[in-house]
Amino acid sequence: MDLGIAGKRALVCASSKGLGLGCAEALAGAGVNLVMNARGAEALEASAQAIRDAHGVEVVTVACDVTTPEGQAAVLEASEGADILVNNAGGPPPGMWTDWEREDFIKALDSNMLTPIAFIKGLVPAMMERGWGRVVNITSQAVRAPIPVLGLSNAARTGLTGYVAGTARQVAGKGVTINNLLPGIHATDRADALDGGVAKQQGISIEEARAQRASTIPAQRYGTREEFGAACAFLCSQHAGFIVGQNLLLDGGGVNLTM
């Protein structure tokens, strides 16, 4: 399917690896020029070069922490005129509800709520003026069904979801859509880190921990970054202009819901 977005420009935050990289690759495959970001410059540049080589699109890299005011300013400067925004950043650490203090919540809110809002505020007004834009926020399945040890993530991402629900309806009339993609378990470094923790805790191998977790997913496997990226690229396509303020679970059926 021709997504109809060749020649457009996208900012994909936190995209040297994992789900963000999947989104960058899929958009580049549709002919979209990119601004890519991550903190680690080496992995970022390697991923950017692989995308330039594979797809022949322009890729600008901005190595910085996207959750800081300085990082946001640098990324916004490089992304002027972007038609597409994919919001992403690392997730907060697990823990117990009794452990978290105000500072922990502020950090989680900065990463997973206030940073995406800052980019929406930075880029959406110009998209509205041009009459076309797409925003996709990478959130989590935890928005639909809480993961108790990820209370900081549950809280921050649900806050963003509430903001998007109203804002998406305020900007849709100018041709700009805002939607959220909710990953379930995907085979990325983050999943490896979580499986490594379980393996250590239970005295089993990481392969056993992975198989154990995969068996809890109806699809009996983890998602891939390619599948995730393809869904993101579709939401950014010409065909998705009537999809507004939605929360799309990509979880192999893992969250047990009727709707």
The residue ranges that bind ligand NAP (CB under 6 A) are: 14-20, 37-40, 43, 65-67, 88-91, 138, 140-141, 183, 185-186, 188-191
Report, in Å, the least distance between residue 174 CB and ligand NAP: 28
Q: Spell out the residues 6+ positions from residue 87 whose beta carbon is closer than 8 angstroms to its own.
A: 13, 115, 116, 119, 120, 135, 136, 137, 138
Report, in Å, the least distance between residue 63 CB and ligand NAP: 8
Nearer to ligand NAP, 174 or 213 (CB): 213
Nearer to ligand NAP, 125 or 162 (CB): 162
Cβ distance 34 to 51 under 8 Å? yes
With 0-12 / 13-18 / 19 or more C-beta atoms within 10 angstroms meaning exposed / middle / buried, residue 54 is exposed
Report, in Å, the least distance between residue 149 CB and ligand NAP: 13
Nearer to ligand NAP, 62 or 171 (CB): 62
Nearer to ligand NAP, 18 or 133 (CB): 18
Instruction: Report H helices in the chain.
Output: 18-29, 41-55, 69-78, 102-109, 115-130, 151-171, 189-202, 206-214, 225-235
Report, in Å, the least distance between residue 235 CB and ligand NAP: 15
